[in-house]
Amino acid sequence: MTVEFKRQFVKVGFVGVGRLGKDASEVMAEHYDVTGYDINKVDTTIKMADTLEECCKDKDVVFIAVPTAHDPEYDGRYPSSHLTPKDFDYSIAVNVTAKVDELVNKDTIVVMISTMLPGTVRREIAPRIHNGRFVYNPYLIAQGTVKDDMRNPEMIMIGTEDGSTTKESAWLSKFYEPMLEQETRIIEGTWEEMESTKIFYNTFITAKLCLVNLIQDTAMEVGHMNVDVVTDALKNSKMRIMGPSYMKSGLGDGGGCHPRDNIALRSLVERYDMGYDLFDAIMIAREKQAENIAKFFYEVGAPKDRPVIILGSGFKPGIEYKDGSPSILVGYYLEKLGYEVIHDTDEDTTPKNYLIGWNDYFIDYNFAEGSYVIDPWREILPNDKKNIRVFHYGNTRSGLSGEQIPDGNYALHRFGYDPDL
């Protein structure tokens, strides 16, 4: 296969022509020579192969769209929150990937589009690819709107082993161009980043609906409320709620309103005995997330005989008020771990441990040589002229700036993966 994309000659294999794959492959067939395969008889406009080999042999690209199903008890049709948590069943995806790889050659791109939990592709799917050239490319498509979703996707997600643009990922970007009816974002990243983008996209929707329906339950319990008045006011609030604000991961929410409002709302759901408490879960998550950052100091070896200097103790940049400060909350857990915590001290020449409380505010701070810097905003870059160890909390990619990944395998060690996989 050459890097040049020649649309008129592209041959496509599509494995898994089911409820979603059928419509997706039919959109592809409007522009390319597509051959499908499914273990079931399918009524479709694309040509279907009698064997998997016929579908895969001599193709430029083979898409795998097989189910990663849950146990039938876990589909949400009936209560499942009381059941033991279960991952998806990847057995079909694993087996089909291995069979497809046996049938393709070194010039064929093998594209997995099925939904998977973060870490699954690296652990279960990629090791089955030996002949083909693998790309992970999950879709944001929904039953009933698959064809429109293929032509007007929110974004196209393309995952490679290290997140870099490869010949395969560039080819795949070109492949989608004739299908698109509008300019579309193409997001590239590691397999884990694309797995996460897909599945958290879906869970954002669930969480959003649960919160909106909680307002509905509040209307029923408190009275004198039409839920639509409240949700209409909120859905048109595009400065913070319905927009890109608060989508930078780092420390938690703070201030004199936000944390305390969630705390107070816990009493409301208890008063009216709603039977569930989202606010309790939110506050527990906020505290555990702060504790995890504190534990990170210990995990990367930040010396306990040095104090931790928190740079930015106010609840947001440029504000001295400490009400609800998320960085002070991290400091609380650091003290529990035996660290001395000091807030907003002046620069000096003594090596210390630092926590960046405000993003983009201490880029030019004169860190003492030999210091450890934990940056949950991933903004601080190491100074080559000083022995400063910068750790970017939330970035576990290998080979990036600073020492945010000790030994180049921090993510693998932290999450229990096999670095040799």
CB 278 within 8 A of CB 211: yes
Please check the confidence at residue 281 and state whether its pLDDT lies above 70. yes
Minimum mean pLDDT range among 25-29, 105-109, 259-263, 333-337: 259-263
**Structure tokens, 171:** 């080819």
In a domain, 389, yes or no: yes
Percent of the chain topping pLDDT 70: 91
CB 203 within 8 A of CB 180: no
Question: Which amino acid belongs to residue 264?
Answer: A
Indicate the SS3 state at residue 414.
helix
Handedness of CA 14, 18, 22, 23 (dihedral sign): negative
In a domain, 216, yes or no: no
Over range 177-205, report the average pLDDT.
95
pLDDT class of 6 with cuts at 50, 70, 90: low
In a domain, 234, yes or no: no
CB 358 within 8 A of CB 347: no
Mapped to the 3 state alphabet, what secondary structure does 327-373 carry? HHHHHHHHHHCCCCEEECCCCCCCCCEEEECCCCCCCCCCCCCCCEE
Please check the confidence at residue 57 and state whether its pLDDT lies above 50. yes
Do 296 and 409 reside in the same domain of the chain? yes
* Structural domain ending residue among the three candidates 163, 191, 219: 191
Over range 272-279, report the average pLDDT.
91
Indicate the SS3 state at residue 33.
strand
Give the CATH number for residue 328.
3.40.50.720
Query: How many CB atoms are located within 10 Å of the residue 240 CB?
Result: 9
Do 22 and 153 reside in the same domain of the chain? yes
pLDDT in tens, 127-160: 999 999 999 999 999 889 999 999 999 999 999 9
CB 362 within 8 A of CB 380: yes
Whole-angstrom Cα distance, residue 160 to residue 234?
38
Domain range for 139: 7-191
Whole-angstrom Cα distance, residue 225 to residue 215?
10
Whole-angstrom Cα distance, residue 340 to residue 352?
11
In a domain, 45, yes or no: yes
pLDDT in tens, 198-248: 999 999 999 999 999 999 999 989 999 999 999 999 999 999 888 888 888
Element (H, E) at 164: none
* Structural domain ending residue among the three candidates 151, 171, 191: 191
pLDDT class of 342 with cuts at 50, 70, 90: very high
What is the number of domains present in the chain?
Answer: 2
